[in-house]
A and B are shown apart, each in its own frame.
With several copies, the nearest count.
Chain A
Amino acid sequence: MIAELEALAGFRADVREWCREHVPADWVARMTGASVDESLEFQRVWLAELREGGLAAPHWSSEWTGRDYSFEEEIVIAEEMARARAPRLDTFFVSLYHTYGLLMEAGTEAQRRRHLPAILDHGEIWCQGFSEPNAGSDLASLRTRAQRRGDVYVVNGQKVWSTYAMHARFCLLLARTDPAARKNRGISYFLLDMRTPGVEVRPIVDLGRRQEFCELFLVDVEIPVENRIGEENEGWRIANSTLSTERSTLLLMPAEQLRVAYWMLVDLARTTPGSGGRPAIEDVGVRRDLAGFHAEIANLRLLINRMLTQMIRAGGAGPESSIIKLYYSELLQRFTCYAAQLGGMKTQELAPLLGAAPYVSGVWEFDFLNSYTWTISAGTNEIQRNIISERVLGMPREPK
């Protein structure tokens, strides 16, 4: 579809071949209902496998990976991974995307050398310490304090929604260094060693009874000054500029997975009796709904293609990625809810869950519940709508 990718047929064939050889055929069965330790181990093995194939971090520069992929090749890799239903590297998500983006943009050479190889070669896990209990969508109102005392900052406060923090070796931390400054002016950015005394991690049990998110309690935690990123009180600007990088191809994989998931829904419709007892796929109403999802899933991919094409040609993503995230997350939620409802009592049956699953695993009720991670986290969809209405549609802010 994207004209620029047509020339990459050979490269695509190689990636496809690699996936055919390396994506473990039985991983879904093996990992369904796996323990936390088993999942973690599997993620490490899969990271190593990808690294050997040169596919663990296609967006990283060749200095760290030895491979230099064009943006077009990155797109092809993401497409093929989705097509092969490869496991997501979700345990290393912050490490591979946020930490990399941050260090390349605002880190020192020493920080890069210390951390980037450790991520890629040893699977060092990072977490994020951004959200706080009383600063959900209103991130800039965070209260965690970092006070300079000589060569260290002493940090006190509480963080929440820190994914995989119980496994993490380091944390990307935002804390307030100037309480007198306006909300987003007095914040600094730190790398926190999770083994520092005073760091306590408590997992949060989520609605699927999994433990992926954590709370962090920070009591007199000392962070050496050299682990501050950028200047003091510049944390908000740094976080904002690095948050938006590398987002563009991240939606490709879930979007491709949704295309695969469409056929899972069709299968469900074939095997579920419809209202009159005949297979649901023969029900005119169900068929129309399936036609609607077919169109909407196609549109999602087309929207992403349009964004990627623009990035290939002009560079830099605009607000399109917010729009696509909104479109994707709501489509995913409607789609999975529809499936959960279509399957009747059968889909009400409790089923063991799958770690690192595609966002549609086929355990439909779980997939639906899980879709709220997309509509709530990283800025709720309500916040996204505010932002889009103001930045894209140019509508005025609300009076305070």
Chain B
Amino acid sequence: MIHRTRTVDMDSEELRAAIRDVLDREATSERIRVVMDESKGHDAKLYALMAELGWTGLAIPEQYGGSGATLIELGVVLQELGRSLVSSSFEASVVLFGGALLLAGREDQRASFLPRIANGDLLASAALGGASGRCEVGSLALTVEPRGASLSLSGKLEYVPSADLSELVLVAARGPQGDTALVLVDPRHEAIEISPQPVFDPTRRFSRLVMHDHVVPRESMLGDFSNGEALRERLIELGAIALASDSMGGAGKVLESTIAFMKGREQFGRSIASFQALKHRCVDMMMRAEASAVSVEMALEAFSREAEEAPVAASEAKFYSCDSYVHVAKEGLQMHGGVGFTWEYDCHLYLKRALLNQALLGDSRWHRDRVADLVLGPATAL
């Protein structure tokens, strides 16, 4: 019998140790490579185990079959998945889709979907951005038009994570008043054209969705037009924090494995880990990883208690942690020397994932601009 990973009085570090123990066995580099070469790029076997262990339901209230923990614990799972380069729909299904239901789902929506997310049965996703994967509201390339008791959706969605696996996708669409609606659609519906958008990072899958006058019942909406944009913004923050968590986990692992590699690598009669120039650069990597860790922790905590500073904390965690991951992954590859350039070593997988994380859901310029607007007030003339 499998025991759920989390018990009530486990602290974050115990939780982390328990998760890492599982992933060190079940998400080895060999396994990651098998999964990433499959078209779905989703480790269904691991996902089932994660569900069984209660990871998928960790932040879902007990009444919906979850453990009732907070985003902080969920963040630990995300960090560890990032650390092991796991390919799965976890972020799409649990964080984005599950998070949306928790933030704004009606009771009937929660009741029908949350238990299935918790038990790993429902894979779903959310499409929050617009053309070219941009995040500002003006970029939304899907429009929604109320038509009696129905809604008509037209346009396209790009870079929708794990959409090809999903039963449901929550899509952000521009309403007739320039407002925003979040609507549940079935991506497998024949009126929706779905095509893969493969990326350099082989551990991730995205799709483009195109629809023309796709009609869904009005009940498919999450929230309403009045709070749609605010909700979309919260979900972008949530997704940003998830990416920051993934990045932090990945950066920590790159640092560890780079140092381990260096210790075992001899050149000029000594371990290359004894070379001062490299040691100093490793300290810089570590400082960025440490600072990412506290930044992500702060964002998780602020978001989970809906604190006033959550939007700033989310954006800061996103750009700081993602930028740091790119830095650490670049350095890690360089310090591996020749083998770092091979497909066989994982260096490139981390670097590609780092670059993708940085680009997804608002790049670093976008999040810095957002922080500046929130902290300094908008620039009066730009």
Q: Do A's and B's CB atoms come within 8 Å in the complex?
A: yes
Decide if A219 is an interface residue (CB 8 Å cutoff): no
Q: Of B200, B262, B358, B365, which is within 8 A of A275 by CB?
A: B365
The distance in angstroms between the C-alpha atoms of A284 and B273, with both chains bound, is: 41
For B139, give the chain A residue with the smallest CB separation.
A277
Decide if B338 is an interface residue (CB 8 Å cutoff): yes
A295 and B295 in contact, given A136-B267, A207-B342, A395-B279 (Cβ under 8 angstroms)? yes
Decide if B34 is an interface residue (CB 8 Å cutoff): no
Chain B residues whose C-beta falls within 8 Å of the C-beta of A390 in the assembled complex: 279
Decide if A161 is an interface residue (CB 8 Å cutoff): yes
B274 touches A397 (CB 8 A): yes
Give the contact stretch, choosing among B102-110, B148-156, B227-235, B285-293: B285-293
Binary contact track A219-259/B, C-beta < 8 Å → 1, others 0: 00000000000000000000000000000000000000000
A290 touches B375 (CB 8 A): yes
B134 touches A277 (CB 8 A): yes
For B262, give the chain A residue with the smallest CB separation.
A395
Chain A residues whose C-beta falls within 8 Å of the C-beta of B265 in the assembled complex: 136
B266 touches A134 (CB 8 A): yes
Q: Of A287, A302, A348, A368, which is within 8 A of B199 by CB?
A: A348
Chain B residues whose C-beta falls within 8 Å of the C-beta of A295 in the assembled complex: 295, 316, 319-320, 371
Q: Of A209, A296, A392, which is within 8 A of B343 by CB?
A: A209
Give the contact stretch, choosing among A14-22, A85-93, A120-128, A374-382: A374-382
Chain B residues whose C-beta falls within 8 Å of the C-beta of A285 in the assembled complex: 365
For B269, give the chain A residue with the smallest CB separation.
A400
Decide if B175 is an interface residue (CB 8 Å cutoff): no
Chain A residues whose C-beta falls within 8 Å of the C-beta of B220 in the assembled complex: none
A131 and B338 in contact, given A302-B295, A306-B294, A395-B273 (Cβ under 8 angstroms)? yes
Chain A residues whose C-beta falls within 8 Å of the C-beta of B276 in the assembled complex: 386, 398
The distance in angstroms between the C-alpha atoms of A57 and B277, with both chains bound, is: 40
For A266, give the chain B residue with the smallest CB separation.
B376
A398 and B133 in contact, given A292-B368, A306-B294, A349-B199 (Cβ under 8 angstroms)? no
Chain A residues whose C-beta falls within 8 Å of the C-beta of B360 in the assembled complex: 345
Most chain B CB within a 10 A radius of its CB, from A277, A327, A372? A372
For A211, give the chain B residue with the smallest CB separation.
B343
A396 and B343 in contact, given A337-B330, A345-B359 (Cβ under 8 angstroms)? no
Q: Of B266, B283, B338, B358, which is within 8 A of A393 by CB?
A: B283
Known A-B contacts: A131-B338, A303-B294. Give 5 more (CB < 8 A): A206-B343, A291-B369, A294-B371, A299-B294, A302-B298
A-B contact pairs, 18 of them (CB 8 A): A138-B267, A138-B268, A141-B268, A204-B344, A273-B139, A276-B382, A281-B379, A288-B368, A292-B319, A303-B291, A341-B358, A345-B359, A348-B356, A349-B198, A372-B334, A394-B259, A396-B273, A398-B274
